[in-house]
Structure 1
């Protein structure tokens, strides 16, 4: 599965990248702006998205575009999980910072299972 990482804090982005790769996924990014994320969205299956991005746009606004336009599943990774609710239905999970490897891997596994289930139903 191709995992896009949208996080403007470099150390956190690299940690998410390491976790996803060690779990057997390909990674796209890390990216820190909405523009970058939208450019790479067609090559991604799921996105790990922070709520605060370097270009000042909300990760929630980005998530809505990723879900609606590109069918990319979104998992929020944020230090402010209480702020996710603002109208973003369809996000697969919200993970609070600080996070554990197990929590990220578990969310990615659920996303992968959901994709496989969706793909198998679409093929019928």
Structure 2
């Protein structure tokens, strides 16, 4: 039995694999760019860009609180804040449909613990 000699290399399977990998990379890149916690931020006319944020707190529309990307309760958040420098920059990201009560509870906790550099993220 003799083997046939190929005149050309079949690249179609290679192209198929590359296109599948491209789709996977583009799909994961969009999730990374958006962030892990989906929020619909409120708009503000006087929004300013702030320097690099140190601490990020997020409040979802159903009232859940996140310390960076970790879900926390108010009691857990208080314990985490005790170990931080009181001059740390704190960014609060809250969904525009979130209960205002949860936002006030978080803000009150920050003020009670002595934090003064607090910002609320909005969209222009």
TM-score range, shorter chain: 0.3 to 0.5
**Structure with greater contact order relative to length (CA < 8 Å, sep ≥ 6):** 2
Answer with 1 or 2: which has the greater Rg.
Answer: 2
TM norm structure 2: 0.34
TM norm structure 1: 0.34
- Name whichever structure is richer in helix by fraction: 1
